[in-house]
């Protein structure tokens, strides 16, 4: 990946991650155009960081903080992974479609169908990768097992998309424009109205695939990263203390202030927190492996010959635990490895730190992800003590996203009387 990344540009993993409809787009003559639209959509949002900076505190103050307060007051056990999924889906829905799903209004309601559909589809896709092709095709033909869930997942995704498209078209028919309502600056509105950026409006299926991909990239991966971060923090209380001190210094100069007062500039000052997030991503990358196919025949460093029919799996999870890459302390949670002697962030090469992909395929939403995670973490750590349920099993789920199979059960206790 360091020297020959360019000839491994065709990524099967993105086709897997964005489900079969996307795979069809990639396999068609318009595959390159699909990539263009997807990354243009993400880049369009990156250019709108001011709007994102407005959305984050709004849903923290109106959604996350009230929910955390209620959980703390009642003294109940909550699944943090589910909570993070609801919050990040709320955020993802706002930047992707402009719709408020109210996912955080009550943590006891039935699970949100769309994120669950994505999770079920991801598990089915993982099964397709690791079991014989004839077996999963037989399951698909019989309509059983994970293939049945996969088919049901797409029905939910299509239903969600039809609803969002209907809402958006109704708004646009009322002559609403981005300039008239800045809250409508989202990917779907961009596809429908910003022809200066995207060209001709894409087909409904292509827009659906791109929006689904954006929701997946924002919600599933971020909630996974947050869950493993807090699990690691529970095992390393010294790091939690250091993060809390840094947050108090730069975000909450007055101790008992529950309202999130951060901005992008202040979040960028949280060096130790940034390092701790990087360390968590090193040990538990949300997408634990990447699949690549060479564009032409090549020879791997091991001497193996590969060609266009070869799928190469690169395990970021394994790389994060290799002493040859990270040193003898590679299994330790050590944020200090990301901090320079001058006190700044040490930037590792993307082929070494694989959490955001490498080379020309580097994730364009990287900064959005960091901003969202920092905002959530600072809010929770400043206001609450997170006490994990010790008897609750924490194991990875077999899927293309490194989520926890049984969630992350915890009690949340307020730090303020």
Q: Judge whether residue 368 has pLDDT over 70.
A: yes
- Confirm if 216 and 41 have CB atoms less than 8 A apart: no
Distance, in Å, from the CA atom of 372 to the CA atom of 287, rounded to the nearest integer, reads 18
Please name the residue that has the structure tokens 């082929």. 351
- Confirm if 56 and 379 have CB atoms less than 8 A apart: no
- Give the pLDDT confidence of 115-163 residue by residue, as tens digits: 888 888 888 888 888 888 899 899 999 999 999 999 998 899 888 888 8
Q: Is 2 exposed, middle or buried (0-12, 13-18, 19+ CB in 10 A)?
A: exposed
Lowest-confidence range among 90-104, 155-169, 177-191? 177-191
pLDDT band at 288 (very low <50, low <70, confident <90, very high): confident
Distance, in Å, from the CA atom of 370 to the CA atom of 264, rounded to the nearest integer, reads 10
Which of 161, 80, 79 lies closest to 113 in space, CA to CA? 161
Give the SS3 label for residue 82. Answer: helix
363 marked ligand binding residue? yes
Q: In the chain, where are the structural domains located?
A: 5-414
Q: What is the pLDDT of residue 44?
A: 52
- Give the pLDDT confidence of 330-367 residue by residue, as tens digits: 999 999 999 999 999 998 887 788 777 655 455 556 77
Which of 402, 57, 414, 60 lies closest to 231 in space, CA to CA? 402
Lowest-confidence range among 26-35, 43-52, 91-100, 101-110? 26-35
pLDDT band at 374 (very low <50, low <70, confident <90, very high): very high
Classify each residue of 98-128 as buried b or exposed e, where b means 16 or more C-beta atoms within 10 Å of its C-beta: bbebebbeebeeeebebbebbbbbbbbbbbb
The conformational region for residue 282 under phi > 0 = left, psi -120 to 50 = alpha, else beta, is alpha
More confident residue, 235 or 195: 235
Q: What is the pLDDT of residue 10?
A: 47
Q: What is the pLDDT of residue 1?
A: 59
- Confirm if 98 and 168 have CB atoms less than 8 A apart: yes
The contacts of residue 227 (CB under 8 Å, 6+ apart) are 80, 81, 84, 403, 404, 408
Which of 389, 335, 294 lies closest to 10 in space, CA to CA? 294
In this prediction, residues 51-75 reach a mean pLDDT of 85
Domain at 5-414, CATH from 1.10.630.10, 3.40.50.720, 3.90.550.60, 3.40.50.2300: 1.10.630.10
Q: What is the pLDDT of residue 36?
A: 46
The contacts of residue 264 (CB under 8 Å, 6+ apart) are 49, 53, 371
pLDDT band at 273 (very low <50, low <70, confident <90, very high): very high
Q: What is the pLDDT of residue 179?
A: 46
More confident residue, 309 or 103: 309
Which pTM was predicted?
0.85
């Amino acid at each position: 990946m360091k020297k020959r990344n360019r000839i491994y540009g065709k990524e099967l993993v993105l086709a897997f991650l964005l489900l079969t409809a996307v795979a069809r787009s990639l396999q068609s003559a318009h595959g390159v155009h699909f990539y263009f639209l997807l990354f243009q959509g993400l880049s369009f949002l990156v250019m709108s960081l001011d709007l994102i900076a407005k959305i984050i505190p709004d849903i923290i103050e109106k959604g996350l903080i009230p929910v955390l307060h209620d959980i703390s007051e009642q003294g109940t056990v909550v699944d943090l992974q589910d909570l993070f999924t609801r919050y990040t889906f709320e955020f993802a829905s706002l930047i992707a479609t402009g719709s408020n799903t109210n996912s955080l209004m009550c943590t006891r309601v039935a699970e949100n169908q769309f994120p669950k559909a994505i999770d079920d589809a991801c598990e089915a896709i993982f099964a397709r990768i690791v079991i014989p092709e004839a077996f999963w095709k037989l399951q698909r033909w019989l309509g059983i097992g994970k293939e049945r869930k996969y088919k049901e997942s797409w029905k939910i995704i299509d239903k969600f998309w039809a609803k969002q498209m209907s809402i958006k078209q109704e708004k646009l028919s009322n002559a609403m424009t981005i300039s008239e309502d800045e809250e409508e600056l989202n990917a779907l509105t961009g596809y429908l109205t910003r022809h200066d950026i995207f060209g001709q409006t894409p087909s409904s299926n292509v827009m659906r695939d791109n929006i689904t991909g954006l929701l997946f990239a924002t919600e599933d991966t971020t909630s996974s990263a947050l869950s493993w971060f807090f699990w690691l923090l529970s095992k390393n209380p010294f790091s939690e203390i250091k993060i809390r001190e840094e947050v108090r210094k730069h975000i909450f100069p007055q101790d008992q202030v529950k309202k999130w007062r951060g901005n992008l500039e202040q979040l960028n000052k949280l060096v130790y927190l940034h390092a701790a997030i990087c360390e968590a991503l090193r040990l538990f990358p949300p997408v634990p492996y990447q699949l690549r196919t060479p564009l032409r025949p090549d020879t791997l460093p091991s001497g193996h010959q590969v060609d266009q029919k070869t799928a190469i799996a690169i395990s970021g999870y394994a790389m994060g635990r290799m002493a040859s890459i990270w040193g003898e302390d590679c299994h330790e949670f050590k944020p200090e490895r990301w901090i320079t002697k001058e006190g700044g962030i040490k930037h590792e090469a993307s082929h070494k730190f694989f959490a955001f992909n490498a080379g020309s395929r580097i994730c364009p939403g990287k900064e959005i992800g960091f901003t969202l995670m920092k905002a959530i973490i600072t809010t929770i750590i400043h206001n609450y003590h997170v006490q994990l349920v010790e008897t609750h099993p924490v194991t990875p789920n077999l899927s293309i996203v490194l989520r926890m199979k049984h969630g992350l059960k915890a009690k949340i206790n307020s730090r303020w009387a």
